[in-house]
Copies of this chain bind each other. A is one copy, B any other.
Amino acid sequence: MRTKTQHTSIACAACRSQSQSLFNALHKDQLTNISENKSCTVYRKGQILFHEGTRPLGVFCINQGKVKVYKLGYDGKEQIISIAREGGLLGYKALIAEDTYNVSAETLEDCTICFLPKSTFLHALQNSSSFNERIMKQVCHELGTMSEKLTDQAQRSVRERLAITLLKLRDTYGIDAHEDGPIEINLTRDDLANIVGTATETLIRLLNEFKKDGYVTTKGRKIRIEDPSGLAKTANLY
C-alpha cells in the first residue's frame, strides 16, 4: 500500500461538500477564517486518521471519499459505528468532551480530507451561536440514533439487521451513483459484517439468501440493491 501523504489546497467556500456540512451554519467571514487555518491532505485507501485512545488535536472534514469509524472489542474485533462520507466531520465529539478518542477512523478509499486545529474549531464553536446550535442539535439527534441501533442490536436477528444496514447504506453510497443509475455498495464482506455485528461467514450466507430472494445482486464485491421494499419487509420495518 502506498502511504506517502500528499498535501493539497481547497477553499471551504469552494468545497463541493460545504452545503451539506455542519459548517454551513457559519457566516461567510467565519468560514473564511476556518478556510485559512485548515490544512488539506490526500489520503490513500486504508490510512488511519486517528486511533482510539489517543488525544484529539483537531477535527477532520471530509472533502472527498469515505471513512469508516470503528471501535475495537476486547478481542480486537472491529465494530463499525458509522461510515462517514463527503461533508462529514470527524473527531469533534472527543474534542468537545475533552476525552481521548473512543473510536478510530480509517479511509475506505482514496480521500481528500481537511484538518482543522483544535483552537480554530473551538473558537468557531464559541463565537458562532448558530454553529454551536447546529452541532448541539446534531449531537443530540445522533444520541437518538444510537439508542435505536442499540435496541436493534439487542433485539433483532442478523437477517433483520443486515436488511436494515443495506437500506441505510443506500444513503451513504447514493452520492456516488451516476445520474440515477442504481446504487452500488462497495465494502468488503468483512467490513459489512462488522457493521451488522456478525461473523463474516454468516453475513455471506445471508447475502446469498437475499440474492436468491431477489433483494440484491452482486458483481464481485459490489452489492446492488434491487428491491428495497422487499428488504424492508424482511427487516420488519413498519
Contact = CB atoms under 8 A, between A and B. Distances in A.
A98 B137 CA distance: 8
A156 to B, nearest CB: 7
Of A74, A98, A147, A149, which is in contact with the most chain B CB atoms at under 10 Å from its CB?
A: A147
B137 A139 contact: no
Contacts of A94: 140, 144
Interface in A97-130: 97-99, 102-103, 126, 129
A143 interface: yes
A79 B153 CA distance: 10
A140 B59 CA distance: 14
Interface of A: 71-75, 77, 79, 81, 92-94, 96-99, 102-103, 126, 129, 132, 135-137, 139-144, 146-156, 197, 236-238
